[in-house]
Amino acid sequence: MRKLFNLTLGVVTSIGGFVEVGSISTSAQAGAEFGFSLLWAVAVATLFLAALAEMAGRLAAVSKRSMAAAVRERFGIHFQIIPLSAELVIDTLLLTAELGGVAIAIKMLTGIGFQWWILPVGLVAWLVLWLGNFSVIEDGIGLLGMVTLSFVVAAWRLHPTAGQVVGGFVPTVPHHDITRYAFMTVSIIGATVSPYLLNFYSSGAIEEKWTEQDLWINRLTAWFGMGFGSTVAMGCLVTAAIVLGPQHVKVETYEQAAQMFVPVYGRWAVTLFALSLGIGCFGAAVEIALNAGYVLGQSLGWTWGIDKKRRDTSRFVAAFSLVLLLAVAIASIGFDPLRVTLISVALTVVIMPLVVLPFLVLMNDEQYVGRHTSGPIGNGLLATITILGALMAMVVIPLEILGG
Amino acid sequence: MNATIRLDRLLGREVHTANNRRFGRLEEFRAERRGDAWFIIEYVVGTAGLLERLGLGARLILGLERGGGYVVRWDQLDLSNPDRPRLTCSVDDLRRK
Amino acid sequence: MDIVRDVLDTRVVDRNGREMGRVDGIVVDCQPNQPCRLAAIVIGPAALGDRLHPALGQFVRRLEKRFGLDQNRPAQIEFADVDEIETKIRLRLTISDTAVDAVEKRLRAWVGRLPGAR
């Protein structure tokens, strides 16, 4: 009974940090410019993410190693240094964008310029990590993140027809702006399948001390959790499609995106949008900073863990603190969060093959996953993701220039 | 030869044959316990490419055995110049991986 | 025992189970007409730097010296002090017998001073 409760909590809290600056930006733009026709991209991206998360969780539960630890041990530092460095750079950029997202949300609520909020937000995020523990952080972020369900409610209240929705799940080539469409597809995938999410998920499995007995929990949390989270991204896309599409609004600021809530929520539109954006981004910011600590600690062999005494994990604390400090510094220089988001999303796509390839090996290595190796379906899916990832990696930079 | 060597720095290093042709790369060191200490009794030299070495090649995905290579006994490898390991015997005397 | 697969990059814990780091390097002693003997495991960022590029290892050593953290580092632990090699390597020593936690201790002085430190 307790396991069922924890499972439900796990699924529900997966919303926290799932919908953040990347998915809100890409879903809003996708809906505004292409109507329903990119719903299939959100679905495919979620499928990839859930499959990879399940594998990351299985790896952690059976081998008792997180992704970063397993990659270091199986492939050595010469291989790992590349995805590790890339991930740290991308995560810092993404963290900067998330802090920017929170700052913009607060600006929308208070009218006070967004630059003033970067440092306070960074400080609060740090305090959450300094004082919290894993359950408090995860459950807190998750429960607060429920406000993002406003996107789902809005989409529901706008009464899209079944035809429109179902049609969106069938991949079609659009009549106009094919490069932009391709760019949006790739961006949606890059915004969803963030490398930090995978290592974070596997680290969480270790923090929660999952074992082989918990593999079913892992499967359900990965699939239903990510699935649940994706309904929010889809809600955002559908709402943007119905409200912003006909107005031919090209979403270039978050203030413009917030307009999608007006028909449904009236004078609460901006408040609800700001709360969803702000809380979603804050949750992601906390997770990304924490993950920087995880990746470094696990790769380099430090004592790590947010449930341990801070005194015993000083290097780990230094890592998450420094990355937050760095992101605050970059954000304070002044930048366009939407632009930084799209850059981090593009970079995520570029390193995706390097992140996924180790899975192909680890999921088939009995030394790591015991008898729970991936069957033909799992390997087929991994091979597909790797190949698609490589293809996307090759086109994303040209697409960004042509369609971005 | 009397030397203290960092074994990890040998990993991935090119091994040459007795007549100085490139042969493969050091990819594994097999140790055996003798008395109180462990000794490196065999060196695994891979002749396959980079991807194969990392186990990421098509062979792995298709479930086949890892790529080509040889097992070199400790007395068949000359480490007097650690930057340039050399075989002391002919390739024909080597055991296949 | 396969060194690259089972020893290199593996986690190391001390006699009491405390994390010491990962095997960043391995030292062998090669005498004429004998197989090389495993002499020591090396733990420390300088050793890790050495593996990636000699200049990087030198850079880390200079940094450590600059901060007064270079005594007995990178830690060389005699193979005789290795107790067992499983998914992690357990030593017969305790962490305080080595200098692996020098950086951690130094940072602890800072972290411990922050309000609310537990």
3-state class (DSSP) for residue C109:
helix
CB A221 within 8 A of CB A52: no
Q: With 90 as the cut, is the pLDDT of residue A143 above it?
A: no
**Distance in angstroms (rounded) separating the CA atoms of residues C48 and C46:** 5
Average pLDDT score over residue span A195-214: 92
State whether residue A73 sits within 8 Å of chain C by CB. Answer: yes
Measured between beta carbons, which residues in chain C are less than 8 angstroms from residue B32?
1
**Distance in angstroms (rounded) separating the CA atoms of residues B41 and B5:** 15
Nearest-by-CA chain A residue for B53: A75
Q: Within 10 Å of residue A6's Cβ, how many Cβ atoms?
A: 15
* Per-residue confidence (pLDDT) for residue B62, from 0 to 100: 44
* Per-residue confidence (pLDDT) for residue A27, from 0 to 100: 95
Average pLDDT score over residue span A302-330: 95
Q: Which of C9, C108, C110 sits opposite A72 (nearest CB)?
A: C9
C34 to chain A, closest Cα gap in Å: 28
Measured between beta carbons, which residues in chain C are less than 8 angstroms from residue A64?
87
* Per-residue confidence (pLDDT) for residue A17, from 0 to 100: 67
Measured between beta carbons, which residues in chain B are less than 8 angstroms from residue A78?
12
Q: How confident is the model at residue B63 (pLDDT cuts 50, 70, 90)?
A: very low
Inspect the interface and report whether the beta carbons of A69 and C11 lie closer than 8 Å: yes
Average pLDDT score over residue span C17-21: 94
* Per-residue confidence (pLDDT) for residue C80, from 0 to 100: 93
Residues in CB range of A116: below 8 A, 6 or more apart: A103
Q: How confident is the model at residue A259 (pLDDT cuts 50, 70, 90)?
A: very high
Q: With 60 as the cut, is the pLDDT of residue A183 above it?
A: yes
Q: Where do the structural domains in chain C lie, given as residue ranges?
A: 3-111
State whether residue B54 sits within 8 Å of chain C by CB. Answer: no
State whether residue C42 sits within 8 Å of chain B by CB. Answer: yes
Q: With 90 as the cut, is the pLDDT of residue A335 above it?
A: no
Give the domain extent around A353.
Answer: 2-403
Q: With 70 as the cut, is the pLDDT of residue B50 above it?
A: no
Select from A251, A53, A67, A264 the least CA-distant residue to A154. A264
Q: Which of A77, A303, A310 sits opposite C117 (nearest CB)?
A: A310
ipTM of the prediction greater than 0.85, yes or no: yes
Find where tokens 């994706």 sit.
Answer: A230
* Per-residue confidence (pLDDT) for residue A98, from 0 to 100: 94
* pLDDT tens digits, one per residue of A121-136: 999 999 999 999 998 8
Cα torsion A136, A137, A142, A148 to 10°: value is 130
Average pLDDT score over residue span A43-50: 95
Q: What's the CATH code of the domain at A256?
A: 1.20.1740.10
Residue B73's DSSP bridge partners are B42
pTM of the model: 0.93
Select from A353, A361, A358, A362 the least CA-distant residue to A385. A353
State whether residue A354 sits within 8 Å of chain B by CB. Answer: no
* Per-residue confidence (pLDDT) for residue C39, from 0 to 100: 96
B80 to chain C, closest Cα gap in Å: 9
Average pLDDT score over residue span A308-317: 94
Inspect the interface and report whether the beta carbons of C43 and A301 lie closer than 8 Å: yes
The chains found to touch B (3+ Cβ pairs under 8 angstroms) are A, C
Architecture of domain C3-111: Roll (2.30)
Number of separate domains in chain A? 1
Average pLDDT score over residue span C101-112: 92
Q: With 70 as the cut, is the pLDDT of residue A182 above it?
A: yes
Q: Which of C19, C111, C116 sits opposite A131 (nearest CB)?
A: C116
What phi-psi label fits residue C16: left (phi over 0), alpha (psi between -120 and 50 degrees) or beta? alpha
**Distance in angstroms (rounded) separating the CA atoms of residues A277 and A18:** 11
Task: Name the CATH topology of B7-96.
Answer: SH3 type barrels. (2.30.30)
Nearest-by-CA chain C residue for A307: C118
Q: With 50 as the cut, is the pLDDT of residue B58 above it?
A: no
Q: How confident is the model at residue A281 (pLDDT cuts 50, 70, 90)?
A: very high
B74 to chain C, closest Cα gap in Å: 6
State whether residue B83 sits within 8 Å of chain C by CB. Answer: no
Tokens of A109: 């609520």
Mutate which: A354, A360, A382, vs B, most B CBs within 10 A: A360
* Per-residue confidence (pLDDT) for residue A399, from 0 to 100: 80
* Per-residue confidence (pLDDT) for residue B1, from 0 to 100: 60
**Distance in angstroms (rounded) separating the CA atoms of residues C59 and C72:** 17
* Per-residue confidence (pLDDT) for residue A317, from 0 to 100: 96
Select from B78, B73, B80 the least CA-distant residue to B94. B73
Q: What is the mean pLDDT of chain A?
A: 91
Start-to-end C-alpha separation, chain B: 27
Measured between beta carbons, which residues in chain A are less than 8 angstroms from residue B12?
78
Mutate which: A72, A75, A77, vs C, most C CBs within 10 A: A77
Inspect the interface and report whether the beta carbons of C28 and B4 lie closer than 8 Å: yes
* Per-residue confidence (pLDDT) for residue B66, from 0 to 100: 55
* Per-residue confidence (pLDDT) for residue A316, from 0 to 100: 97
Inspect the interface and report whether the beta carbons of C18 and A131 lie closer than 8 Å: no
Spacing of C-alpha A201 from chain mean position? 11
Mutate which: B7, B30, B34, B81, vs C, most C CBs within 10 A: B7
* pLDDT tens digits, one per residue of A75-97: 999 889 999 999 999 999 999 99
3-state class (DSSP) for residue A1:
coil
Measured between beta carbons, which residues in chain B are less than 8 angstroms from residue A360?
56, 60-61
